[in-house]
Structure 1
Amino acid sequence: MDTFPWEITLTVLGVVIPAVAGVYEYFFIGRKRLGYRIQMDTRAFGGEFAGARHPSLVLVRIENNGSVPVDVDDYMETDPVGLSVRFPRRRVVRAFDPTRRGPSSPTNAVPELNQDPERADPDVLRLPRVPLNRNEHYKVLVLLDELDGDAAPDRDGDESDAVMESRIKGGRITRTRYRAGVSRGVVALITVMASLIVALYYVSGEDSTAAVDCASGELTVVGSTAFRPVVEKAAESYREACRDAPGDVEIRIRAAGSQEGVRALDEAGRGAGEDGPAMLAFSDGHKGDGHPQLLPRPVSFSLFTLVVNKEAGVQDLTPEQIRRIYSGRHLNWKEVGGDDLPIALVGRYSSSGSRRALEERMLGGATEPNVTSHDCRGRVPRPDNPALRCERGSTAEVLDTVAEVPGALGYAEAHAAAGEADRLHLVRVDGHPAELDAADRGVYPYWATEYAYTYGQPPADSLVAGFLRYITLEVGQDVIREHGQRPCADLANPRLCRPS
């Protein structure tokens, strides 16, 4: 049996409830409606006035707060009276229009009403049948006398004991009150809609397996060490999202360098069956020549940066200075304005995508010089390379070595390097830091496209395809952004996945 479609139900309710509330307000309770409000009810003059021994003044506001006009034929009181307002324990002395608006005044029929004190109901104010269009109103100021003989107390308008005793045809008369905030009906509607949104959020969260496109099985991810933090976080998030899905999800990560990962995927694919190996390879940059069975998919636009030991006394280099350092023509930091300290180059193995991006984007296609040191401190003489240069196997190892060796210079993925900024300096290139905006403007050159490779086209229901869709099209994009990179889907041309 299928589960109840809560998401659809809550969404429909979110549309239907406001619509029903609007129809109900317009066609039923609010179609023809008068409201009356006591805006003032206070004692007056401090003594006898105009025949009132204990006078009080009341300001009554009559308004059409419905959705259609009210005509003279809509009143149900005896002609010519339209509305009756009772003031318990008080006598109506006079009533008049306080605005004095001339012949068109709604109360023009009774501009000054002198009530007969001998009437059976001297506490009732009678108002004429006044036609009111939508949102129109009029006011009546009433002079009252206390029948109990006591001085009139001050009353707040909302606390006045005045009561409307009339009706209108096909509608109703309601007492309105002044509110500085939102009406109760609007508050109730907002509360209901907010509850639906919260419920929809939790229902969507509980049903995250369907949205994530979960698949079960085993997957091995190889390749870039620079991209490894993204893959680790994405794998953790994918496993969590698919925890209730049928079948287990196991994702193993073996990051040994971009080119090493590409070779491992190609080798595994040659020995696999028709569906290909359960393996993904991530590479900083294109796979290069060979490996014709590997299919690329751009995943993110990645930034890299040079990093330097703080004792070097350098934080900014020009592209020409960088090329001269890696060619061995600058061997001491004082030659580029730094301290008197030998330059120690900390590089990556030839399988590294970070290294290849450096050679292509920063060194003009030249390769890094050969290794002349194992500990990055003592140099082994080599006639083909006057520089001191060592190699490390991962981004983390490069960062540690640069931070520890005086005068060391290396390179790393920008987000990972930023996390070590307290131990080393991130080098600006011609004054420009490793930032996405600078790369977009074409003034920062050290970047690469991160590719995901599969051996052929994996089955759509496989974990390879599911995880690849997750990291390129779904929640995995947020993980990429968290690590300072830009998903290819965010760029103007996702297929090229390069700055504009």
Structure 2
Amino acid sequence: MDTFPWEITLTVLGVVIPTVAGVYEFFFIGRRRLGYRIQMDTRAFGGEFAGARHPSLVLVRIENNGSVPVDVDDYMETDPVGLSVRFPRRRVVRAFDPARRGPSSPTNAIPELNRDPERAEPDVLRLPRVPLNRNEHYKVLVLLDELDGDAAPDRDGDASDAVMESRIKGGRVIRTRYRSGVSRGVVALITVMASLIVALYYVSGEDSAAAVDCAAGKLTVVGSTAFRPVVEKAAESYLRACAGAPGEVEIEVRAAGSQEGVRALDEAGRRAGEAGPAMLAFSDGPKGEGHPQLLPRPVSFSLLTLVVSEDAGVQDLTPAQIRRVYAGRYRNWKDVGGNDLPIALVGRYSSSGSRRALEERLLDGATEPNVTSQDCRRRVARPDNPTLRCERGSTAEVLDTVAAVPGALGYAEAHAAAAEADRLHLVRIGGQPAELDAADRGVYPFWATEYAYTYGQPAADSLTAGFLRYITQEVGQDVIREYGQRPCADLANPRLCRPS
């Protein structure tokens, strides 16, 4: 007989836990329930006030924290009023509605109920029958006088001696504390069932490879150098999860630039024919024209940043200043308020997706200047290009060069750049730092959508399809977040990840 798959067990328990907790809360904890909180209990005024020689103020909150509304008929018929709150050793002087909601306020009647100083129970506050829908509440501010003749110390709200002495039909009135969440019984129930889930996970470890959707074979991943750390970490995790699966699994990561990866995938697909290549390409941005067989899948929202050497003397540039620097109109950092130091542009090869994002999002579609230097220090004279600019093949090489060359300006994936912040500066753009939320809201302009490309539609049971599903689902998304990027599913504005 086949064993019951642990994934199905987890799914069933995932439905059972909230269902059982809800039923327990609904039927056993109470459908109709009023709660009261003492939100303040303190000495007041420092002397006699409104007939109280030793006045104190108490703020009482009445709330419907049950699962059904409470109507006027739900209060006990034996109680001439709705609710009664007793304040031992104190006399109720007056009660107020702190919200001052007007003539319809339920607390307008409270002073009339407590005005007679000779009544039998001067320490009791009587509240009218107030209908309350689920989660509704009202508050009452009570002026009290100490009966023992001495001013009592301040009391914490939870430590107040005030107590409710009323009931409601088919339910109860309870004192609530300053805490959130479900009751202790429900917490205990969830804890026990969660422990069962953990136990099932460990005793069913032999089935974990199947849950990851493993497939045997060799996969080659090409493309973006900025996204390479994410791919490598995801590949390591995938291989560990598939260690017990039948057949050998191998993933090789070769990152040489987004457009280079797109071209490599296209060429491999044309050679492979109908079977298609066991290859994925990741690109910082769209594939461009001329690759009709490549299918895009948005994977993540990648944040990019400008970086400068420490001695440049700038940490913020406006979009207009950035365009003028790359157009060659500003060639010294003093032109933008920095130090008297020549600007050395450190760019990427034309195959770089990060370069395409720079040109599209910061340069209004203009291209970077031509190369005029190999070492990024000495400029080769070119009459058509007055700037000093060199190129590097990867994110890491750009960061190393910017950190080493005086006056250098480059660009890189933001998480990788932040790791080098001890030797270079991340540049704010128009006063806005490189932050994912700011880019998501449209106030930070330098970002790119990370796409995964396949040559046609890979077979569902192939290693290509399996790894692609892995990196775009839960575990892979955690890796993406770990490296400072954001899965497309997390975006408040999902159109940013829409294929172009």
Shorter-chain TM-score bucket reads 0.5 to 0.7
Q: Could you give the per-residue CA deviations for residues 86-129 of structure 1, whole angstroms, max 9, x where no partner exists?
A: xxxxxxxxxxxxxxxxxxxxxxxxxxxxxxxxxxxxxxxxxxxx
Q: Say if 1:190 and 1:387 are closer, same or farther in 2 by CA, change over 3 A.
A: closer
Q: Could you give the per-residue CA deviations for residues 16-57 of structure 1, whole angstroms, max 9, x where no partner exists?
A: 9x97xx99xx9xxxxxxxxxxxxxxxxxxxxxxxxxxxxxxx
Q: Say if 1:12 and 1:267 are closer, same or farther in 2 by CA, change over 3 A.
A: closer
1:298 and 1:494 in contact (8 A); partners too? no
Shift of 1:298: 0.7
Q: Say if 1:204 and 1:377 are closer, same or farther in 2 by CA, change over 3 A.
A: farther
- 2:343 maps to 343
Q: Say if 1:319 and 1:498 are closer, same or farther in 2 by CA, change over 3 A.
A: farther
Q: Say if 1:443 and 1:343 are closer, same or farther in 2 by CA, change over 3 A.
A: same
- Alignment of 1:216 with 2:216, yes or no, is yes
- How many angstroms apart in 2 are the aligned matches of 1:313 and 1:262? 38
Shift of 1:447: 0.7
- 2:392 maps to 392
- Alignment of 1:322 with 2:322, yes or no, is yes
Read off the aligned partner of 1:291 and give its amino acid letter: H
- 1:466 maps to 466
Read off the aligned partner of 1:300 and give its amino acid letter: S
2:440 and 2:493 in contact (8 A); partners too? no
Consecutive unaligned residues in structure 2, runs of 5 or more:
28-169, 173-184
- How many angstroms apart in 2 are the aligned matches of 1:293 and 1:9? 41
- 2:309 maps to 309
- How many angstroms apart in 2 are the aligned matches of 1:262 and 1:279? 10
Q: Say if 1:333 and 1:240 are closer, same or farther in 2 by CA, change over 3 A.
A: same
Q: Which runs of 4+ in 1 moved over 6 A?
A: 10-14, 185-191
Shift of 1:474: 3.4
Q: Say if 1:5 and 1:354 are closer, same or farther in 2 by CA, change over 3 A.
A: closer
Q: How does 1:305-454 map to 2 (within 5 A)?
A: 305-454=305-454
Identity %: 85
What's the secondary structure of 2:425's corresponding residue? Answer: strand
- How many angstroms apart in 2 are the aligned matches of 1:456 and 1:467? 16
Q: Say if 1:496 and 1:437 are closer, same or farther in 2 by CA, change over 3 A.
A: closer
- How many angstroms apart in 2 are the aligned matches of 1:187 and 1:252? 46
- Alignment of 1:232 with 2:211, yes or no, is no
Q: Say if 1:460 and 1:8 are closer, same or farther in 2 by CA, change over 3 A.
A: closer
What's the secondary structure of 1:427's corresponding residue? Answer: strand
Read off the aligned partner of 1:218 and give its amino acid letter: K
- 2:248 maps to 248
What's the secondary structure of 1:308's corresponding residue? Answer: strand
- How many angstroms apart in 1 are the aligned matches of 2:329 and 2:336? 11
What's the secondary structure of 1:444's corresponding residue? Answer: coil
1:10 and 1:196 in contact (8 A); partners too? no
Q: Could you give the per-residue CA deviations for residues 341-383 of structure 1, whole angstroms, max 9, x where no partner exists?
A: 1100000000000000000000010000000100000110011
Read off the aligned partner of 2:384 and give its amino acid letter: D
User: What RMSD in Å do the two structures reach over aligned CA positions?
Assistant: 3.2
Shift of 1:191: 7.3
What's the secondary structure of 1:274's corresponding residue? Answer: helix
- How many angstroms apart in 2 are the aligned matches of 1:252 and 1:365? 34
Shift of 1:215: 1.3
Q: How does 1:103-252 map to 2 (within 5 A)?
A: 192-193=192-193, 195-203=195-203, 206-252=206-252
- How many angstroms apart in 2 are the aligned matches of 1:191 and 1:380? 70
2:349 and 2:393 in contact (8 A); partners too? yes
- How many angstroms apart in 2 are the aligned matches of 1:399 and 1:259? 20
Q: Say if 1:207 and 1:409 are closer, same or farther in 2 by CA, change over 3 A.
A: same
Q: Could you give the per-residue CA deviations for residues 250-289 of structure 1, whole angstroms, max 9, x where no partner exists?
A: 0001100001001111111111031201111111100111
Q: Computing the radius of gyration over CA atoms, which structure comes out larger, 1 or 2?
A: 1
- How many angstroms apart in 2 are the aligned matches of 1:368 and 1:241? 43
Read off the aligned partner of 2:462 and give its amino acid letter: S
- How many angstroms apart in 2 are the aligned matches of 1:312 and 1:247? 55
What's the secondary structure of 2:272's corresponding residue? Answer: coil
Q: Say if 1:204 and 1:380 are closer, same or farther in 2 by CA, change over 3 A.
A: farther
- How many angstroms apart in 1 are the aligned matches of 2:493 and 2:215? 29
Shift of 1:216: 1.4
2:206 and 2:244 in contact (8 A); partners too? no
Please identify, of 194-203 and 239-248, the stretch whose mean Cα deviation from structure 2 is larger.
194-203
Read off the aligned partner of 1:287 and give its amino acid letter: K
What's the secondary structure of 1:231's corresponding residue? Answer: helix
Q: Say if 1:401 and 1:199 are closer, same or farther in 2 by CA, change over 3 A.
A: same
2:298 and 2:498 in contact (8 A); partners too? no
With normalisation by structure 2, the TM-score equals 0.64
1:298 and 1:450 in contact (8 A); partners too? yes
Q: Say if 1:335 and 1:196 are closer, same or farther in 2 by CA, change over 3 A.
A: same
1:491 and 1:498 in contact (8 A); partners too? no
Q: How many residue pairs get matched? A: 345
Consecutive unaligned residues in structure 1, runs of 5 or more:
27-133, 137-184
Shift of 1:443: 1.4
2:308 and 2:427 in contact (8 A); partners too? yes
- How many angstroms apart in 1 are the aligned matches of 2:283 and 2:11? 42
